[in-house]
């Protein structure tokens, strides 16, 4: 979602729920917009927001072991919001790299009475070892066949016939 969309949505006075799915980058943009002021200096962004739903968000999308930092940012931004317009409902469903420890830290930081729901689905992916691994997911760079030329004829899914070139 472009930054302009969050700029537009953050001042809507009747927007009471936001659902973010499949895109960690949009969660990051949303949290940045959540911290900003609204249309006037004394109004928060998303002034009517009371429900946040996160679905299939990878809290460590770059696989660098930073899920803890992302959860901490979520906690800080929700706590900042408590002062102006508290959230009444938070749901986290089928998220990746989100653990029991993250849930306990998150719920332990929220005020009493908030309806917090997590499906307890823990899918934790191991951090990648190098920059190359991140650029080509699924390729084992330690496999001798990758470097030996065995895959020279691989068409990378484009259906090219390299013998005709």
Kindly report the average pLDDT of the chain as a whole number: 79
Write the DSSP symbol of residue 70. H
User: What does the alpha-carbon distance between residue 118 and residue 128 come to, in Å, rounded to a whole number?
Assistant: 26
pLDDT band for 144, please (50, 70, 90 cuts): low
Provide mean pLDDT across the span 10-16. 90
165 or 108: whose pLDDT is higher? Answer: 108
pLDDT band for 104, please (50, 70, 90 cuts): very high
Going across the sheet that includes 17-21, the strands are 17-21, 51-55, 89-93, 115-118
Provide mean pLDDT across the span 47-73. 88
User: What does the alpha-carbon distance between residue 58 and residue 95 come to, in Å, rounded to a whole number?
Assistant: 6
- The structure tokens listed for 48 are 């009517």
The model carries a pTM of 0.72
pLDDT of residue 153: 47
pLDDT of residue 64: 72
């Amino acid at each position: 979602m472009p930054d302009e969309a969050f700029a537009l949505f953050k001042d809507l006075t009747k927007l009471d729920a936001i659902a973010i799915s499949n895109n960690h980058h949009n969660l990051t943009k949303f949290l940045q917009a959540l911290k900003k002021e609204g249309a006037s200096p004394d109004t928060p962004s998303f002034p009517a927001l009371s429900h946040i739903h996160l679905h299939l968000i990878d809290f460590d999308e770059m696989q660098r072991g930073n899920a803890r930092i992302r959860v901490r940012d979520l906690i800080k931004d929700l706590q900042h919001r408590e002062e102006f317009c508290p959230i009444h409902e938070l749901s986290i469903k089928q998220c990746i790299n989100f653990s029991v420890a993250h849930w306990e830290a998150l719920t332990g930081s929220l005020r009493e009475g908030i309806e917090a729901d997590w499906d307890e689905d823990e899918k934790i992916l191991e951090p990648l070892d190098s920059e190359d691994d991140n650029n080509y997911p699924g390729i084992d760079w330690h496999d001798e066949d990758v470097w030996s030329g065995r895959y020279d004829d691989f068409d990378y899914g484009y259906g090219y016939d390299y013998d005709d070139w």
